[in-house]
Amino acid sequence: MGGLTVLHECLVTLPHEDFLYLGDGARLPYGPRPLEEIRRFAGEIASYLEGQGVKLIVAACNSATAAALADLQRRLSVPVIGVLAPEAHAAVLATRNRRIGLLATEATVASRRYPELVAALDAGAEVVAVACPRLVPLIEGDDVFGEELTEAVREYAAPLKDAGVDTVILGCTHYPLIKPILQRVFGRGVTLVFSAEETAREAAETLARKSIENDVGREGTYRFLTTGDPELFREMGRRFLQLPIDVAEHVEIAALEAVA
């Protein structure tokens, strides 16, 4: 579901392009899974999308990007971009004291990709990472702004506040939905970084650089696939996409495994 927050920015930035979104509802959440398993799932999905004739793939999931981006870029014939590098870049630009916090899934934290990306941009910057296993289930729950979620945010924010970070990367595509809670807990003195806009801009620049963009005068389409329950995807997906989802088509896991 979280990737829909990235899709929203892509639809706004690239209204003339056609989008095919595949959400792996049958195997969520990815965050607690081993990196090798996430890498396999991402490979199956990307190979399936490539078989559908797409010209660019956006890995709109931090865990999948952390686990699989380099592997996907080596294996596929179409360009593949992820969501980590734009956030690392934005965080390095935003921080004033060079202490950067990271809230993310267990898999993303375990990959250590964010510290590597930040160090490549500023070797003197420090990244304090906190895994947040409770957040995704709570955000996808019935009471997204309930007290339990607020308490979880306070718990995960505490070590970052103790470390004196002035910038926090929201390292999961679910987290923008609770940005008001996060900002309230951290205060206005802390910059929250979530770069769906940067990712959409990178997609636009990649299409233009390779001369494979659509005519800007047309109106693009978007289509949704899910390995989970299509009705659940439609209902919950609207919360993340902030646009109507009229139809979601079901894809069997076996169909993904067959093309990997």
Q: pLDDT tens digit string along 112-152? A: 999 999 999 999 999 999 999 999 999 998 887 889 999 99
Per-residue confidence (pLDDT) for residue 69, from 0 to 100: 97
Distance between CA atoms of 50 and 64, rounded to whole angstroms? 17
Mean pLDDT, to the nearest integer, of 55-68?
Answer: 97
Catalytic residue positions, numbered: 61, 172
Spell out the residues 6+ positions from residue 171 whose beta carbon is closer than 8 angstroms to its own.
62, 84, 87, 102, 103, 104, 105, 108, 109, 114
Distance between CA atoms of 182 and 168, rounded to whole angstroms? 10
Asked if residue 35 lies in contact with residue 110, where contact means CB atoms within 8 angstroms, the answer is yes
Distance between CA atoms of 233 and 225, rounded to whole angstroms? 9
Whether residue 195 is predicted with pLDDT greater than 90 in this model: the reply is no
Distance between CA atoms of 176 and 59, rounded to whole angstroms? 17
Per-residue confidence (pLDDT) for residue 146, from 0 to 100: 86
What are 250-260's pLDDT values in tens digits?
Answer: 999 999 999 98
Percent of the chain with pLDDT over 90: 95
Tokens of 238: 């609207």
Residue in 140, 139, 179, 177 with CA at minimum distance from that of residue 157: 179
Stated pTM of the model: 0.91
6 confidence band (pLDDT: 50, 70, 90): very high
Mean pLDDT, to the nearest integer, of 185-193?
Answer: 97
Mean pLDDT for the chain overall: 96
